[in-house]
Every structure is written in C-alpha cells, then in structure tokens.
Amino acid sequence: VVQETGSNIDIERLRGHHRLMQRIRAFERQALKGLTDKAVLGAIHPSIGQEAVAAGICAGLARDDILLSTHRGHGHTLAKGADPRAMMRELLGREGGNCGGKGGSMHIADFSVGMLGANGVVAANIVIAAGAAHAVRLRGESRIVVVIFGDGAINRGPFLEGLNWAAVFRLPVLFVCEDNGFAAMTRTKAMTGGDGPAARARAIGVPAGEVDGNDILAVESAAAELIDAVRSGAGPRFLCARTYRLTGHTGTDPAAYRPREEVEARWQDDPIARLGQHLRLAGVTDSDLAEDIAAAEAEMARAYDEALATPYPAAADAFAHVQDIGDPRTEAY
C-alpha cells in the first residue's frame, strides 16, 4: 500500500485523480442510463472498474501529447481533457458532438486535446500510434504518443507489427495494455499462448513493466517512469496494467459467463474506493469525497440533459467530410 500522507500538493493531486475517476464513472453510468432510455443509440463499452488506468496514464501527459484509445474509450478521452458535454452529445448522435454525430461512442475523438480517436477495430490503433510517433520524430517535435488497448489486442497482427515498428525506429511511444481479463466475452487467458502482454512486448524488444491497474498511485508512478524514458528518446516502452472490467463487454451484456461471486469480489478492489482509502488516511473527509461524487453526477446529468435537448444533425451532413475530389455531394452515385 502506498502511503500518501505528505504535503497538501500530494493531497490535492490525489483529490484531482478522485474527481476525474468519479467523473468517468458518472459519465458512464449516465450513458448506461441513456442506453436504457434509448437515447444513447449504438453500442457502448463501459470501463467501469478501469478508471485508474485512464487517470494514472493521462496524469503524465501534456495537452499536446497524443493519445489513441479503443472502443472502451470514454475514460481515456475524459482523462485526456475532452469536454463531456460534447462527448454526451456524440453518444446521443446530436449536433455538436465531438464527431458531429458521425461516430458515436466507438469513434469518439477530440483532436483539440490530442485524443486521436477511439477505434472500433481491436489493435488497429497500435499501428496508427506507431505512425503518429513516426511523424512526431520526422517533424522534430518533442511530444510523445500513448496508445491504450486491451488484452484481447495482443492476439492480433498489428500488435506485433506496431511494437516491432516502434522498436526498429526507436519511436516516442508508450504502449499501454489495459488488461481487464476479457477479450470481448471470452477470458483472454483461454485464447492466449505464452506469458502474457509484457512478455510478448519484451520478446519484440520493447522494455515492459507491469502494474496493478486498480492502484492509481502505482499506475501513475509506473507510467511516469516509462513516459520519462520515452520523452528522453530511449525508444518505445510498454506497460501492462492489470485491472478488471466490472460490467459486461457492452452496455447490454449481462456477462453471465462469469460467476457473480467473482464480480462481487472484484468490487472489493474498486480502484475508486481504493483511492478513497488513501484520501481518508490523508485526512480527506467522507463528506469531501461525497461532494466529488455529487459534483461528478450533477455534471454528467447536466451534460446528458443538454444533449437530449440538442437536435440531431441535419440529414445533409451525411454527405460532408467524405472526400474533396469525388465529393459525394456531387458524386455519390
């Protein structure tokens, strides 16, 4: 257990993590409610229980650092600084959503904060991240690229190709495997040979660490060390953050393929509750923590209500942003 009973600065930093993790959870709970109400339109993939990974990794990033995410990307996107009001509008397919209602949850992106997109295809973001880092180097920029993917991604070819690419070209990229134990609805271990994500990364030549992904302080410090190495030009690094997906694969998956006792036991390891313990030890009161929850829930309820009151995009928008030459506004058929 990391003791953080030090300065006010430390306490404020941890309190910031707590607020962010509560905001992520409140956003997703609100989105799930929206799914029940049929206002959230397509599939959503909640990251409830994984918030410490998003918060801990992004704590080490500046606004102009680049982040690429997965289909389970609400937390990463919020942690990178995206506006939940625009995100909620996107989930509801409304005007003013981050992607103008064209992407929804699975393609959420906010380029203004360096978040280059969730991705509907597992592992596809890994090779795109390698290329983003390649461009950073070609352009002589000092920022870094971080790509987060799930444990299921290590069984796809782009995992091998992207890590090898980054190793060969010594690119400034941090690969983060958010290992929640499940590849969609199947236990990843049942479908994976070898010794897991970090071992595979090392075999490809990318130095790799492993961390308890439900411990925000451990994630933050492990990420900080690896991010320092990447920033210093040492080449790519890899972090496997072990966590647990407390919900189903999608917002409608009851996850009956795992025993209830397992999930109940994992709730005892809830990363937000664990951070709350640290904060209490540091003198933060229960009512302070409750205040963070109430503020997060109010913010997301407001974002949701505002989104509900926002119109859908105009139908003609379906033809915008396709391509300039051969523009479908004149060349669709």
Question: Counting contacts by CB under 8 A, is residue 116 touching other proteins?
Answer: yes
Rounded to whole angstroms, the Cα distance separating 95 from 97 reads: 6
Closest CA to 276 of 268, 243, 327: 268
Cβ closest to other proteins, residue 129 vs residue 198? 129
Question: Counting contacts by CB under 8 A, is residue 205 touching other proteins?
Answer: no
Question: Counting contacts by CB under 8 A, is residue 311 touching other proteins?
Answer: no
Binding window for other proteins (CB under 8 A); candidates: 28-36, 152-160, 251-259, 276-284: 152-160
Are residues 312 and 93 in contact, defined by beta-carbon separation less than 8 angstroms? yes
**Nearest 10 degrees: Cα torsion 180, 231, 144, 11:** 60
Q: How far is the CB of 157 from other proteins (least distance, A)?
A: 6
Q: Tell me which of 49, 56, 84, 117 binds other proteins, using CB under 8 A.
A: 117
The DSSP string of 17-79 is HHHHHHHHHHHHHHHHHHHHTT-S-S-----TT-HHHHHHHHTT--TTSEEE--SS-HHHHHH
Using DSSP's 3-state secondary structure scheme, residue 311 falls into coil
Q: x/- site string to other proteins, residues 76 to 105, per CB under 8 A?
A: ---------------------xxxxxxx--
Binding window for other proteins (CB under 8 A); candidates: 34-42, 197-205, 225-233, 316-324: 316-324
Rounded to whole angstroms, the Cα distance separating 52 from 277 reads: 14
Which single residue is written with the structure tokens 């407390």? 246
Q: Tell me which of 60, 150, 162, 271 binds other proteins, using CB under 8 A.
A: 162
Cβ closest to other proteins, residue 113 vs residue 239? 113
Binding site for other proteins (CB under 8 A): 66, 68, 97-103, 107, 109-112, 116-117, 119-121, 124, 126-136, 138-139, 157-158, 160-162, 164-165, 168, 320-326, 328, 331
